[in-house]
Every structure is written in structure tokens, then in C-alpha cells.
Structure 1
Amino acid sequence: MSIYDYTVKDTEGNDVSLSDYEGNVLLIVNSATECGFTPQYNELADIYDEFKNDGFVILDFPCNQFGNQAPGTGEEIKKACRLKFLVEYPIFEKINVNGSDEDPLFTYLKSEKSFEGFDSDHELAGVIEDVVSKIDPDYMNNSDIKWNFTKFLVDREGNVVERFEPTKDLGIVKEKIRELL
């Protein structure tokens, strides 16, 4: 399987083949509009604006599995992101990223890049580790998505090359994107 073999739903319920993005560098993120990491929307919008003409696309998948922090429909979330955060990149239908009804795309992404830990330098690292450890005491030993704003970087050939937890400095993410472009 390749990332280009997956089909996802847009906020109108239409099928979108990820092969439509073949040849681009992709940053795939699970997001939430009411999370402590939500300010990352602004930084992601800036990164997208800087690199969108160079073959870079962010694919945003809202997810309500972490603290019910993505309320509303996919279309409502998309409208809020467009208005509040000026997000222009594609926002897809709300999905689950873990569990028996997780989206197959995220099953694939997690199989390609597992969890390696939170960035302890981030101001929310201790908080997120505390919350996640109460939900899953064995969280360090599985590939599940731990929280909102986990990101996967995919190169132009469709290879999943990096996984960034929500605590990873977006300046580092930006540099990794620049390297692939």
C-alpha cells in the first residue's frame, strides 16, 4: 500500500483520492478547534502560505476523540477555520484516528511512523503527558495518536518520513518541510 491508495471524504461527503496530491510534499494533521494546541492553526496557515506554490499541501482531518475538542460537523469546523484562522488548505470530514472505527489512512500513517515521545521543551509537555498517561498508562509503547495536532510529513514520492507530536516546535517542522521541497 501507498498513501496514494487511500480515499478520504471532504466536508461535503465527496470521495477524494490522495493520488490527487501525488508529487507534493504533504503534512497530514489531526486537528481540533477547541484545544490548547489550536493556536497551531495560525502557524500552519503561515507555513502553508509560504510553501503552497512550491508543491506543498497540508491535509487537515478534524478529530473529536481527544477531550471532545472538535465539536460540530466537518463543514462547521471548516467554516470556523476559514474565518477565525484564515486557513486555506484542504480540511476534510471529521474522523477518528484511533480505535476500531479509525480512518484507514491513519492506520497506515501510524504503521509507518510510531510514537517516539513528546518534546519535553514545550510548555504543554507536562500537561499533555499527564492527561495522556491517565487515558493510556502504556501510551509510550503503542503507535496510537496521543492528542490533537499530531502531524505526519510525506515526501513527494509518498513516503511517510516524519511524525511530529503536538509538542514539536513548528519551526522544526517548517525546516523539515523546506528540506523536502
Structure 2
Amino acid sequence: LNALMEMFGDLNFTVLGFSCNQFGLQSPEVNHETLNVLKYVRPGGGFVPKFPVFGKVEVNGLNEEPLFTFLKVYLTFVSAESLPFVNAVIGDIKKFYWSPIKVNDIRWNFEKFLISADVGGEIHRRTSVEAAPQADISGRVTIPQ
């Protein structure tokens, strides 16, 4: 994500990071520990995010943040292209810590949503953990005049 900030950070673009412990319980730290976990543990090596990192949220289930409810519903019904990676296999439910499990749920940490920074914040795409969003971003960032 820092690489995305280095590529596009001067072009009306930013990454917003949200910590979540719903995927394999991989983020058990409390909010004030998150930056130190990133710096010293995972990924470690002195890593410092070049983007805002928010407090821990739930992105799926009964207690999910309304922002993620909206994003998931919007991108599920806009077009099949906005959610190209979703297939019938949801994953190993033993690693999911929420209920109910829905087909449009976020599947793992580091899924990405591309939203314009313009007024109105048009929602463009949702990409999987594995996807590299550089092409989508470069086609949509606003280059300052």
C-alpha cells in the first residue's frame, strides 16, 4: 500500500487503512498498538505506513461498520465487473469470525475499494487481496493542472 502512495500520492489519491480482526484473528492488538505492530512485527523491519490507519473495525457480520455495508451492497449490484473475483467458494469458514456469512462479504484482509476523491465519491471497483490495482488507479486519478 505504501507503493501505491508513492506512485499516486501526488495525484489526488490516498489509501485509507482499516484494521480488522475478523480474518483468522490475525489482528488481536488494541488500536494504540497497531502502528507498532506494523513497524516491528508484520510486516516489520521499521515499516511506517504513508497513509492514515484508522482504529479496528468489523467489516462483515451483524456489527459491520455502515461504510462497509454500503460498499459491499453497492459493488455487488452495480455490475459483475466491479466484483470479478467473487466465486462460489467463500473460503474456510473456520477462519471467519463473524455471522452471518454472505456472498458479498469481504473475504480477507487487504481487499481494496477504489473510490474517487471528487465530491460525491464515485465508487469504481472492488479488488481482491491478490489483485494489483495500479491500472485501475492510473486510469482514474485526477492529474493536477
Band of TM-score, shorter chain: 0.7 to 0.9
* AA in 2 matched with 1:180: R
From 108, 112, 116, the equivalent of 1:147 is 108
CA RMSD between the two structures? 2.6
**Normalised TM-score (structure 2):** 0.73
Separation in 2 of the partners of 1:146 and 1:107? 14
Which residue is equivalent to 1:97?
59
Matched-pair contact (CA < 8 Å) for 1:118–1:167? no
- Greater fraction of residues in strand: 1
Identical aligned pairs, as a percentage? 31
Separation in 1 of the partners of 2:124 and 2:91? 28
Which residue is equivalent to 2:136?
176
Are positions 1:45 and 2:2 aligned together?
yes
From 2, 11, 14, the equivalent of 1:57 is 14
Which residue is equivalent to 1:113?
75
From 77, 92, 99, the equivalent of 1:131 is 92
Structure 2 unaligned segments of length 5 or more: list them: 77-82
Matched-pair contact (CA < 8 Å) for 2:91–2:107? no
Question: Deviation at 1:66?
Answer: 0.8
Aligned length: 124
**Normalised TM-score (structure 1):** 0.60
* AA in 1 matched with 2:34: I
Separation in 2 of the partners of 1:117 and 1:133? 21
Give the alignment of 1:67-82 within 5 angstroms.
67-82=24-39
Question: Deviation at 1:130?
Answer: 4.5
Paired residue secondary structure (1:153): strand
Matched-pair contact (CA < 8 Å) for 1:48–1:58? yes
Separation in 2 of the partners of 1:67 and 1:134? 4
